[in-house]
């Protein structure tokens, strides 16, 4: 039985790759997308989500526009990482569909509550929509099947401040609500995503197939690779979000530890820092399963094969 998924996302270059991977994965059914501020404005990322669905001939998937601002912090977009449009150098056609009228947070609530125990929520942007949903309808905590979160840097350095990962830094208060909600969380932090680089050779393999899908991946990741080279001296780029999506049906890509994890919401240099109580100093039960080891090529082969398949269908 395929898993039914809600994808909460801020596309975003690697978010778009996660949407494409979801569409290319028979193991899951993408029931809907909720959008969230982050890599670009909510208006822009909502348009991007719809355009990506059009690119992959998947206009039937509903897109729900979510929150425009973090709960407490000011907005922090990331044009240096994802470009002004959020999709690097890619130029996508205008969407064929419009966003749904319902708010993204309400879609999360209503979809989970009408399918108790059946919906996997995959959150790959700042956690504002999810936190709002938890506060508005706390019963989603018992009724969601599982929550996969891309965020945090447990032992690894931050990618936005020396201590903080982007999604948790942008809305640390939302991350705090979600981490302490009691939902069954699987966290994909930078500790594993930075071990897994999408290389120019990987892109060249995809470009052997002439398709709007491979052209999109090339135009988007060229910008992302330039960012990684300039800011982090990494050859290639880190595709955090599709790895998180892949774990919904191929958990063996990673090794996990059940841990008590918290996020710093004080106002100092540690804002957004995520940390795990490895020695159980605080005598608190684990609040999530954290991916801390990874088989990089297992993920990359899966990703490349699925993108090749999608590109052939759309060539």
Question: Which residues bind to Ca ion, rule: CB under 5 A?
Answer: 10, 12, 15, 124-125, 241
| Position among 6, 7, 8, 14 found at the interface with ligand BDR (CB under 6 A) | 14
Nearest 10 degrees: Cα torsion 161, 244, 99, 49: 80
For ligand BDR, the closer CB: 179 or 211: 179
Distances (CA, A) of 187 to 35, 213, 240, 274, 310: 19, 28, 11, 11, 27
| Position among 6, 8, 15, 66 found at the interface with ligand BDR (CB under 6 A) | 15
| Position among 46, 73, 214, 240 found at the interface with ligand BDR (CB under 6 A) | 240
| Position among 3, 5, 12, 30 found at the interface with ligand BDR (CB under 6 A) | 12
Stretch of 12-20, 112-120, 203-211, 251-259 lying at the interface with ligand BDR (CB under 6 A):
12-20
For the CB of residue 18, give the shortest distance to ligand BDR in the complex, in Å: 8
Written in H, E and C, the secondary structure of the chain is CCEEEEEEECCCHHHHHHHHHHHCCCCEEEEEEEECCCCCCHHHHHHHHHHHHHHCCCCCCCEECCCCCCCCCCCCCCHHHHCCCCCCCCCCCCCCCCCECCCHHHHHHHHHHHCCCCEEEEECCCCHHHHHHHHHCCCHHHHCCEEEEECCCCCCCCCCCCCECHHHHHCHHHHHHHHCCCCCEEEECHHHHCCCEECHHHHHHHCCCCCHHHHHHHHHHHHHHHHHHHHHCCCCEECHHHHHHHCCCCHHHEEEEEECEEECCCCCCCCCEEEECCCCCCCCCCCEEEEEEECHHHHHHHHHHHHHHHHHHCC
Closest to 298 in 3D by CA, of 255, 264, 252 = 252
Q: Of these partners, ligand BDR, Ca ion, none, which one is at the site of residue 8 (CB under 5 to 8 Å by kind)? A: none
| Position among 34, 46, 47, 81 found at the interface with ligand BDR (CB under 6 A) | 81
For ligand BDR, the closer CB: 110 or 195: 195
For the CB of residue 39, give the shortest distance to ligand BDR in the complex, in Å: 5
For the CB of residue 52, give the shortest distance to ligand BDR in the complex, in Å: 13
User: Rounded CA gap, 185 and 308, in Å?
Assistant: 30
Q: Of these partners, ligand BDR, Ca ion, none, which one is at the site of residue 159 (CB under 5 to 8 Å by kind)? A: ligand BDR
Stretch of 84-92, 160-168, 265-273, 307-315 lying at the interface with ligand BDR (CB under 6 A):
160-168
For Ca ion, the closer CB: 223 or 260: 223
Please say whether the beta carbons of 167 and 263 come within 8 A: no
For ligand BDR, the closer CB: 95 or 189: 189
For ligand BDR, the closer CB: 159 or 221: 159
- What is the size of the binding site for ligand BDR (CB under 6 A)? 15
For the CB of residue 226, give the shortest distance to ligand BDR in the complex, in Å: 15
| Position among 64, 107, 148, 166 found at the interface with ligand BDR (CB under 6 A) | 166
Q: Of these partners, ligand BDR, Ca ion, none, which one is at the site of residue 106 (CB under 5 to 8 Å by kind)? A: none
For the CB of residue 84, give the shortest distance to ligand BDR in the complex, in Å: 14
User: Rounded CA gap, 50 and 204, in Å?
Assistant: 26
Q: Rule CB under 6 A: is residue 42 a binding residue for ligand BDR?
A: no
Binding site for ligand BDR (CB under 6 A): 12, 14-15, 39, 78, 81, 124-125, 150, 159, 165-167, 240-241
């Amino acid at each position: 039985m395929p898993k039914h998924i809600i994808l909460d996302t801020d596309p975003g270059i690697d978010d778009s790759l996660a949407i494409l991977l979801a569409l290319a994965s028979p193991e899951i059914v993408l029931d809907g997308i909720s959008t969230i501020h982050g890599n670009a404005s909510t208006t822009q990322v909502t348009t991007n989500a719809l355009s990506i669905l059009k690119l992959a001939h998947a206009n039937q998937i509903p897109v729900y526009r979510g929150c425009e601002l973090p709960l407490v912090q000011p907005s922090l977009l990331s044009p240096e990482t994802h470009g002004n449009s959020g999709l690097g150098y890619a130029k996508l056609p205008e969407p064929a569909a419009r966003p749904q009228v319902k708010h993204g947070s309400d879609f999360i609530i209503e979809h989970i509550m009408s399918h108790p125990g059946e919906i996997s929520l995959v959150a790959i942007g700042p956690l504002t929509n999810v936190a709002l949903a938890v506060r508005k309808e706390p019963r989603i905590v018992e009724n969601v099947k599982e929550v996969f979160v891309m965020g945090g840097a447990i032992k690894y350095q931050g990618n936005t401040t020396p201590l903080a990962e982007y999604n948790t830094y942008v809305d640390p208060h939302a991350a705090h609500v979600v981490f302490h909600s009691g939902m069954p969380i699987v966290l994909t932090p930078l500790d594993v995503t930075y071990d897994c680089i999408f290389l120019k050779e990987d892109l060249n393999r995809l470009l052997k197939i002439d398709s709007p899908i491979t052209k999109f991946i090339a135009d988007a990741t060229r910008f992302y690779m330039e960012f990684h080279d300039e800011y982090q001296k990494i050859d290639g780029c880190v595709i955090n979000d599709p790895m998180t999506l892949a774990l919904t049906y191929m958990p063996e890509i990673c090794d996990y530890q059940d841990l008590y994890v918290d996020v710093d919401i004080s106002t100092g240099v540690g804002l957004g820092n995520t940390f795990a109580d490895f020695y159980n100093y605080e005598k608190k039960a684990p609040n999530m399963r954290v991916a801390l080891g990874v088989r990089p090529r297992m993920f990359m082969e899966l990703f490349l094969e699925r993108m090749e398949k999608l590109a052939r269908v759309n060539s």
